[in-house]
Structure 1
Amino acid sequence: MRRHRHAKIVATVGPASSTPDQLRALFLAGVDTFRLNFSHGVQADHAKVHAAIRDLEKEVGRPIGILQDLQGPKIRIGTLQGGRLDLQAGETVRFVLEGADGDKQAIPLHHPEIFDAVVPGQELLIDDGRVRVRVTGPERTSITAEVITGGPISNRKGVNLPGTLLDLSPLTEKDRADLAFGLDLGVDWVALSFVQKPSDVIEARGIIGDRAGIMSKIEKPQALDRIDDIIRLSDAVMVARGDLGVEIPHEDVPARQKELIRACRLAVKPVVVATQMLDSMVNAPAPTRAEASDVATAIYDGADAVMLSAESATGRYPVEAVAMMDRIIRSVEGHKLYHSIIAASEPGEEETPPHAVATATADLAEAVRAAAIVAYTASGTTAARVARKRPAAAILALTPNVATSRRLSLLWGAHSVLTEDVDSYEEMTTKARHHAQDEGFAKPNDIIVVTAGIPFHSAGNTNNIRLMQI
């Protein structure tokens, strides 16, 4: 089974999509990686979904990626009187660290790091910015603020502080318990929420090691200030436009998205574009034209994957949303201008021998109109280096590592096949021919380009190209 597209689809699992039959339908519609959102649900439910995905993987004979998305240090107000308060523009409200009554003069905000960081004039955004207040009197255990944009607030609504670096660990106690649980299950990727600085990734790496890939979610302006270091330390990046779009102006998000995709391509790290991509399909069987254009833009920009959130987790049309995203991707990649646009946005070359070999592999495949590029890859690095060039030919990634094969389900253009390791050059060419035909990429007389690292069994050493005719 192969996808007739290069970009991948990530879908969030929730009440609308958690049964084995629903998961199978989503996979057949086009899902490559399933996201388990640990901001919702309980561990036992996530374990059932994980087991169902692994059973599905055996049934279809294709590696399927599983992404564990940790809740992270989300800042929220506490419990309010009657569960809700209506704030009016111009009135004064007060947030308190302890002893809250839940009224307008004692709104609970049990996050001491906020009280340590805020200054007069600082804005607090509540409920994704729907309500805005400006700090007038910060104290050690209370904050007085003027309501700038009024509206209703209710229990546990999120609070954002644009432009403020908070002294927060990226992993809460809940995150650490969820992370241990997810690693024991065997998730392929761990998404870190609200990354602010490189040390956040380093802290997570100390716990995760190489048991899963680390995906840093870029949703804080502070992360943009140190983005090159964060990308370098991460295994993948998510452009999480929800919270990012709250903390920076809406009009700045598209440009930041393009910058992040380009930076990740340069660093050879998969990049996922997420949030509200087909949001109207939560309740409608078709997206708006603007949403279709949004998905298309991410594909034209060269994103490795696009992600569905509520559309597949709680929406009424989860399978239709995946199928729509699949059709949009295939339409864009089949457009006559796609490859010229992708080529025009290609970042500068990495001046290292392995990158040069991978680039030459892609260029050679283009020159001879190869049916496929076969990349032998132990860690996934060789396939990622080739994918960085965004070649027209499909990338058949052969790996002996099941963990690598699953992580490659997130990489642009990669069709991963689990195979035994090779010990000789002759065995490499024989297996390349076999898998290229067996997986439906090549037929007799077709040309394929094979790249690998020699000596074999050494990761990251891309140094050999072979041109072959079937």
Structure 2
Amino acid sequence: MEKKAKILATLGPSIYSESKLNKLVELGVDAFRINFSHDTSGIKKIISKIRKIEKRKGKKISLIADLQGIKLRIGKVKNGNQKIKYNQKFILDNQVKTGNDFRVSFPYSKILKKLRKGNKILIDDGKFLFSVIGKSKNSVIIKCKSHNCILRSNKGIHIPNLNMSFNNLTAKDKKDIKTATKLGCNWIALSFLQNEKLILEARKLIKKDIGIISKIENKSALKNIDKIIKATDAIMVARGDLAIDIGHSEVPKVQLSLIKKCSENSKSVIVATQMLESMIENNTATRAEINDIATAIFQGADTVMLSAEAAVGKFPLQAVSTMSKTIISTEKYKRDHIEDFKNSIITNKDPVKSILLSVKDIAYNPDVKAIIVFSNSGKSAKLVSSMRPAAKIVTISPNINVSRQVSLLWGVQSINSRDAKGWKDMMSISKEIIKKLKFIKNNDFVVITAGLPFGKAGMTNMVRLYKVGS
């Protein structure tokens, strides 16, 4: 049984070799994430390796450019890390100098001015707690309230209940969008957005064949979630920073709520952060981690993500294998409960959604082995995927970037092919592809859906039931 949910792995030193990348794809990785918060100077060579593997395997691979956004970070620390004792006083200032055992750079003057005595400061994804005990014009004095605290260079800072508006792309983000486009990335992931404005700004800077993923990681985004979902192509439940902002115990219900909302609106969902955290150091997962992956699949996530487990972990191959096996095991049970997705989709009298729901109904016949979706822009592919049909989904697009983009979607096998010139040509292309699909035999049925007129990205308005060999 092939898995339907997809695996997204973060690129890093642990998997940069071509042999490792090749093995990861064999084990079930469908997409790679480039973290633009870190050094990406050599990433072009890595992408070249991935595209070679893609061609060799005949499997489209999606690339996600994850922008840094407005995440607050400390500067560099001497030797990369600095031990801070419990109750030790420490300084955050706006000097652009390497930190030491009594200070570190925090280059955000407006925020330094806003901080007050008693404010809590969380550093390194909430691992270490500090409290503000004093301040001057360009610095604040903080006291360490954690044991075994080690500050590392460029780690993120979170300040609970700090209300500041961040509604624009940073200069770095704009530069990274240009770089991501040149590198051939298929998705742009927006970090720390608070509302839909950042999405609309990014949309003006990217090509139509690049999708936008909105990372949900703060209270403001949750307050504006309906508008964000409407404006974006996909959502990432970024549970690390989200947990710091809303509290760890609130994350499970928010994860379920976001997946449900996205299902209703036919938008893809990625669940991320610490899914197999223990496998950074260990070659086996905990039972709780296995359950976490299964829960995301049961809830309806399209994609589950590996971060440090793949990028810098000691056992990236084992981590991907564990994730893939868990997905397959869970989907064996879940396929009997997948009809729930059809019932949750909001059509709002949308004729295209209604057409594709009828496609899903036809495809529930056990003799129907596949749905072939001609999709120039990827929109139809996204809609069919969101409806979770029982039959396999094969998408066809003349645009290689669209083919790569939709390969991240649940259940989609993406094929790049010439565009159909007309009805007969559409059937000719379909028959060519069916011959290559080993799971389809003579007398099996295939549902073919497309938009007329051919050659234009528009609405899906045609459905044909084809008996193979007839």
Aligned partner of 1:113 in structure 2 is 110
Distance 2:47 2:386 in 1: 30
1:131-280 to structure 2, matched below 5 A, reads 131-135=128-132, 141-144=138-141, 148-149=145-146, 151-156=148-153, 157-168=155-166, 171-210=169-208, 212-280=210-278
Higher deviation after alignment, 80-89 or 123-132: 80-89
Residue by residue over 1:416-457, the C-alpha shift from the partner in whole angstroms, topping out at 9 and shown as x without a partner, is: 111221122233234334423422241111111122112222
Mind listing any 5+ residue stretches in structure 1 that lack a counterpart? none
Matched residue SS, 1:316: coil
Q: Is the 8 A contact 1:127 1:153 kept in 2?
A: no
After the TM superposition, which of the residue ranges 353-362 and 447-456 deviates more from structure 2? 447-456
Deviates more, 1:426-435 or 1:231-240: 426-435
Q: 1:37 to 1:81 in 2, by over 3 A?
A: closer
Identity of aligned residues (%): 37
1: CA distance between counterparts of 2:276 and 2:98? 40
Contact 1:9 1:31 in 2 (8 A): yes
Query: Does structure 2 conserve the Cα–Cα contact (< 8 Å) formed by 1:359 and 1:385?
Result: no
Q: How does 1:303-452 map to 2 (within 5 A)?
A: 303-335=301-333, 337-340=334-337, 343=340, 347-351=344-348, 352-367=350-365, 369-452=367-450
1:11-160 paired onto structure 2 within 5 Å: 11-43=9-41, 45-78=42-75, 84-89=82-87, 95-98=92-95, 108-118=105-115, 121-135=118-132, 141-144=138-141, 148-149=145-146, 151-156=148-153, 157-160=155-158
1:247, distance to aligned residue in structure 2 (A): 1.7
Deviations, residues 304-332 of structure 1 (Å, cap 9, x unaligned): 11111122212222222212211111111
Paired amino acid for 2:361: D
Contact 1:262/1:346, CA 8 A, preserved across alignment:
no
Q: Is the 8 A contact 2:166 2:193 kept in 1?
A: no
Q: Which stretch of structure 1 is more off in the superposition, 207-216 or 355-364?
A: 207-216
- Which whole-Å CA distance do the structure 1 matches of 2:22 and 2:276 have between them? 21
TM-score by length of 1: 0.90
User: Matched residues in 1 for 2:34 and 2:91: separation?
Assistant: 36
Q: Counterparts of 1:350 and 1:77 in 2: how far apart (Å)?
A: 46
Secondary structure of the 2:14 match is coil
Superposed CA offset, 1:165-211 (max 9, x none): 43446644433333322211211112222222222222222222425
More displaced 10-residue stretch of structure 1: 215-224 or 351-360: 215-224
User: What is the CA–CA distance in structure 1 between the aligned matches of 2:420 and 2:99, rounded to whole Å?
Assistant: 66
What CA distance in whole angstroms lies between the structure 2 residues aligned with 1:79 and 1:41?
A: 14
Q: 2: CA distance between counterparts of 1:318 and 1:155?
A: 23
Please tell me whether the aligned partners of residues 33 and 65 of structure 1 are also in contact (alpha carbons under 8 angstroms). yes
SS at match of 1:66: strand
Paired amino acid for 1:397:
T
- Output the CA distance in 2 between the equivalents of 1:240 and 1:427: 44
Give the superposition deviation at 1:101: 9.9
Aligned residue identity for 1:204: A
Deviation per residue, 1:215-248 (Å, 9 max, x gap)? 1221222211111222222222211112112222
Deviation at 1:268, TM superposition (A): 2.2
Distance in 1, Cα, partners of 2:355 & 2:172: 44
User: What CA distance in whole angstroms lies between the structure 2 residues aligned with 1:103 and 1:25?
Assistant: 41
Of residues 320-329 and 146-155 in structure 1, the stretch that sits farther from structure 2 once superposed is 146-155
Is 1:4 the counterpart of 2:2? The answer is yes
Distance across 1 between alignment mates of 2:130 and 2:63? 39
**Letter of the aligned partner of 1:72 in structure 2?**
G
Q: Given that residues 276 and 319 in structure 2 are in contact (C-alpha distance below 8 angstroms), is that contact kept between their aligned partners in structure 1?
A: yes
Aligned length: 465
Structure 2: 5+ residue stretches without partners:
none
Maintained 8 Å contact 1:372/1:441 = no
For residues 352 and 33 of structure 2, the distance between their equivalents in structure 1, rounded to whole angstroms, comes to: 32
CA 1:101 to 1:434, structure 2 compared with 1: closer, same or farther past 3 Å?
closer
Cα gap change, 1:360/1:342 in structure 2, threshold over 3 Å: closer, same or farther? closer
Larger CA deviation: 376-385 vs 92-101: 92-101
**31-40 or 140-149, larger mean C-alpha shift:** 140-149
Compared CA separation, residues 316 and 58, structure 1 to 2 (3 A): same
Q: How far apart are residue 298 of structure 1 and its match?
A: 0.9
Query: Which secondary structure state, in structure 2, belongs to the residue aligned with residue 371 of structure 1?
Result: strand
